[in-house]
Structure 1
């Protein structure tokens, strides 16, 4: 599969023919493209001069971020006779809930990169269009992408050139992993649910939420999933039987995804003063460990993260139980020497948001999700006549948005 892009806007040498195509978009070939794609990824991760940037280092094959989806593809843009890789994009197709137990095939667009010296020539737009065509062939009715609300170039590309609409806004909450264990109340019991029971529990809890994946069983049985955990007051242990759908009046539940096996993060470009302050907190903590200071972890070398997903709480003790459950995950990460932070992403209206411990300076309040209807106008009109509303105009009755851990 390949697509040639016209070169009328590109500068040419006198030896080049006007009809020569300069750009070809084709599917990723590991043997042919891996080294060049890794080079492009490193080139695009450099932040603005004088400003700190968070660098992502993919581990193994560059396609590893999407290989956990059954339907996935990675496209590259080749330039010139030498086939220089100047652009890359990843995508997948999954079936998710759009609210009220209705399911739809959805494409997820991620990992768009264009070489800095080859930007503003329409390569990004063509990569998105070609990926959308592949997704439509796989049955996708909608496509969505996620980006930081401050990433204006990305938002402008998708909303102004590719026809996407701003859809949902989520909050990313980040808590660094410290050298000290978080205390867990002795009155709280933490249970580990087997994958089958966790799937049944989640199917019941998230039946009306948006973006809940239909293949939840594959997520829970994935090797990157570290388990599903439920916190309940010990006094309710005798009255609790999750296997038979009997839950206590108050509980909290979440699952943990080990993203550090897929990629590592690293902060670069921090000012010497800030860097020295961060190092100073660790030195002080090392000299006086009995104070249990919240020292800043070493984020200046590659570190992994644990993602908490499927967070839900119920009852008057729900908030306290969720905080304890997050502490339990922190202690798991603390025992894992390569994990530097635990992360959760939730909708801004989700009540669980207030119970998740985090550092505000490391978190960001607006992760923008944009969506596009991939169906043609005739099908859209037909669906409206049949009473099937366009998801873009649909307001979910649930305040919960399920975040698929494979999207990270």
Structure 2
């Protein structure tokens, strides 16, 4: 598939504006575009200003972030006769809840990049427009994207030029992985639930939440999923039978997704003094782990993260059990040499949010989700719209494939 775009080019002044079909949008072809897309991703890395920044390095094929979805596509924008790749965008289409057990087909847009030398030519807007057309053909009724609320260029592109509306704001919680193990109370038992059982439990727990995926069992059986774990008071162990739906009055549950084979992160631009201080805390923690120092992991080399999803707790001891469960995952990550952090993304009204251990200096207070109705709004004026309806649950389920 290819579509020509009449891009408006401004060489020096508005009087010299020339309209030519200089840009062609095509579906990504691995043999032709892989090297060029990887080069473009490096050009668009955050942190060119010299300030400390967190850089993402995709592992393997540039399409790896969306390959776990049945419906997905990546488009590239080629410029000029030589077909220079100057833009790229990805999308996946899935079926999720919009709250109150109502399912809807939804597109998630991510990975929009435009070459720094070719910005302000409308390439980003055109990529989004053509991607939306593809999504409509696949039956998507809504499209959404996520970005840091401080990323003004991205927010302005989607809200002011592409018709998206600010919809939900989530919090990203980050816990570094230390050299020492986290203590787990001897009164807590951690159960490893098989995918089918975990899916059945989740279907009941998150039916009224927003963005809960219909294909949850595919996620739980994916090779990147490291397991679903439930923490319960040990005294209830003999009376607990999740297979029969018999759960204790207090428990906590979550699943763990390994991102290491999808992407790795790296902090760049840190001063030598800050680097030395961070290395010092790590060495002390390794030499004297019994002190349980809050050491700084080695994030100056590429590292992976574990993503926590499906977090839920019940009962008076729910928060305590959730902290124990997060400690259990920390110890899993500690044994995995390439894992530098544990990450969870939660709605701001989600009660689990206060129970998840994290470092505020590493966490994002506002991850903004913007959404757009892809259908004719006049046609659906009598139907309940996602913008006007409100979910009965404060929970927003974050699909680990989106992270």
Superposition TM-score tier, normalisation by shorter sequence: over 0.9
User: In the alignment, which residue of structure 1 is the partner of 2:140?
Assistant: 140
Measured in 1, the distance between the counterparts of 2:352 and 2:19 equals 58
Measured in 1, the distance between the counterparts of 2:372 and 2:327 equals 38
Name the SS of the counterpart of 1:56 in structure 2.
Answer: strand
Measured in 2, the distance between the counterparts of 1:377 and 1:233 equals 50
For residues 69-117 of structure 1, the C-alpha deviation after alignment (integer angstroms, 9 at most, x for no partner) is 0000000000001111000000010000011100000000000000011
User: In the alignment, which residue of structure 1 is the partner of 2:15?
Assistant: none
Map 1:120-199; keep pairs closer than 5 Å.
120-199=120-199
User: In the alignment, which residue of structure 2 is the partner of 1:394?
Assistant: 389
* Alpha-carbon RMSD: 1.2
For residues 200-252 of structure 1, the C-alpha deviation after alignment (integer angstroms, 9 at most, x for no partner) is 00000001000000000110010000000000001111221110111110000
Structure 2 residue runs of 5 or longer lacking an equivalent are: 13-17
User: In the alignment, which residue of structure 2 is the partner of 1:211?
Assistant: 211
Measured in 2, the distance between the counterparts of 1:194 and 1:20 equals 57
Residues 1:230 and 2:193 aligned together: no
Map 1:265-280; keep pairs closer than 5 Å.
265-280=265-280
Contact 2:212 2:396 (C-alpha < 8 Å) held by counterparts:
yes
Map 1:55-74; keep pairs closer than 5 Å.
55-74=55-74
User: In the alignment, which residue of structure 2 is the partner of 1:54?
Assistant: 54
Contact 2:172 2:366 (C-alpha < 8 Å) held by counterparts:
yes
1:192, distance to aligned residue in structure 2 (A): 0.5
1:279, distance to aligned residue in structure 2 (A): 1.4
1:292, distance to aligned residue in structure 2 (A): 2.4
Contact 2:172 2:367 (C-alpha < 8 Å) held by counterparts:
yes
1:286, distance to aligned residue in structure 2 (A): 3.7
Measured in 1, the distance between the counterparts of 2:271 and 2:387 equals 42
Name the SS of the counterpart of 1:66 in structure 2.
Answer: coil
User: In the alignment, which residue of structure 1 is the partner of 2:356?
Assistant: 356
Contact 2:179 2:286 (C-alpha < 8 Å) held by counterparts:
no
Name the SS of the counterpart of 1:320 in structure 2.
Answer: helix
Q: TM-score, normalised by structure 1?
A: 0.95
Map 1:271-350; keep pairs closer than 5 Å.
271-350=271-350
Measured in 1, the distance between the counterparts of 2:105 and 2:289 equals 52
Q: TM-score, normalised by structure 2?
A: 0.97
Measured in 2, the distance between the counterparts of 1:46 and 1:325 equals 33
Total equivalences in the alignment = 398
1:10, distance to aligned residue in structure 2 (A): 4.5
Name the SS of the counterpart of 1:172 in structure 2.
Answer: strand
1:11, distance to aligned residue in structure 2 (A): 3.4
User: In the alignment, which residue of structure 2 is the partner of 1:15?
Assistant: none
Structure 1 residue runs of 5 or longer lacking an equivalent are: 13-17
